[in-house]
Amino acid sequence: MTVQHEMRGRVLRSTMMAMALAGFGGLAAAAEEAHAQHQAMDHSQHAAMDHSQHATMDHSRHAAMDHSQHQAMDHSQHQAMDHSQHGGDGAADPHAAHRAAMAKPTAASTLDVVVPDARLLDQDGKPVRFVEDVLGDKVVIVDFVYTTCTTICPVQSALFNALQSKLADKLGRSVELVSVSVDPRRDTPARLKQAAEKYGSGSNWHWLTGERAEVEDVLRAYGAYTPNYTEHPPLVLVGDAVQGKWTRFFGFPDMQKILDAVDTTLAARDSSTYAKAQ
């Protein structure tokens, strides 16, 4: 009985040890399975997130923003400027200020201007005095440009070309057109000559440059000076040096508004006040 009891004890202990080992093995197997599942989750879900969600965001949303919104802005506003009136890259855009100014509505104001009789050069390289030789006693339409500009300036020059045709019966007799360079360092008379030819300037459309200090005196008088010439405001002024009264348009005025300002200024010149000044 004792031997049998001892054998039963050994069998029982062996069985319990086997069960324990089997249990440990099951835990290990479960751990391995869990790890396998975790790895599967890591590579399937993470990869799915990476390539479906992130890629979707990158290529559908970002691309949609890039090509529908940005391009829509670029081609509707910029092309409208280029082709209807005629005439970014972000922070590096040298014409950012121009583009912003173009989006603003046209505003007109009346002001008194004491115009300096600056010593300048016209597009033929001829020395001229701004008041004595160019403005004289005429009604003058003045704008401010530079020859490497591709935004505001071409629009204004195209406008001046149209005004030249509309005012053909008055040019030389009572009206003159004047374009003053805001970049006198680079805008030589030769460059202005090329611009004048490009826009079909006649003899009564004067393109002016000169020494920087002389030009800046003129710009400051009209409120057109900026330290950075590429940020000059879109201005057109109508007036004369005799009365010193000017109508200033900020933005891109309708041509008829400029023609009306010319007629108003001419009518004022016929008044008794102007007659006495003569």
Question: Looking at per-residue confidence, does 76 or 54 come out higher?
Answer: 54
Task: Give me the pLDDT at residue 278, please.
Answer: 55
Average pLDDT for 194-202: 98
Asked if the model's pLDDT at residue 55 lies above 90, the reply is no
Q: Report whether pLDDT(165) > 70.
A: yes
Residue 277 is predicted with a pLDDT of 54
- The pTM (predicted TM-score) of the whole model is 0.63
Model pLDDT for residues 117-150, shown as the tens digit of each residue: 999 999 999 999 999 999 999 999 999 999 999 9
As assigned by CATH, the class of the 98-277 domain is alpha beta
Q: What percent of the chain has pLDDT over 90?
A: 55
Three-state secondary structure readout of the chain: CHHHHHHHHHHHHHHHHHHHHHHHHHHHHHHHHHHHHHHHHHHHHHHHHHHHHHHHHHHHHHHHHHHHHHHHHHHHHHHHHHHHHCCCCHHHCCCHHHHHHHCCCCEEEEEECCCCCCEEEECCCCEEEHHHHHHCCCEEEEEEECCCCCCHHHHHHHHHHHHHHHCCCCECCCEEEEEEECCCCCCCHHHHHHHHHHCCCCCCEEEEECCHHHHHHHHHHHCCCCCCHHHCCCEEEEECCCCCEEEEEECCCCHHHHHHHHHHHHHHHCCHHHHHHC
The yes-or-no verdict on residue 176 having pLDDT over 80 is yes
CB 110 within 8 A of CB 161: no
Q: How sure is the predictor about 269, in pLDDT bands with cuts at 50, 70 and 90?
A: confident
Judged against a pLDDT cut of 50, whether residue 12 lies above it is answered with no
pLDDT at 60: 41
What per-residue confidence (pLDDT) applies to 259? Answer: 98
The pLDDT of residue 254 is 93
Between β-strands 245-250 and 235-239, what pairing exists: parallel, antiparallel or unpaired?
antiparallel
pLDDT per residue as tens digits for the range 95-105: 454 444 444 54
* Burial readout 113-124 (b: 16 or more C-beta within 10 A, e: otherwise): bebbbbbbbbbe
Summarised one tens digit per residue, pLDDT across range 235-262 is 999 999 999 999 999 998 999 999 999 9
Instruction: Report whether 167 contacts 259 (CB < 8 A).
Output: yes
Where exactly are the structural domains of the chain? 1-85, 98-277
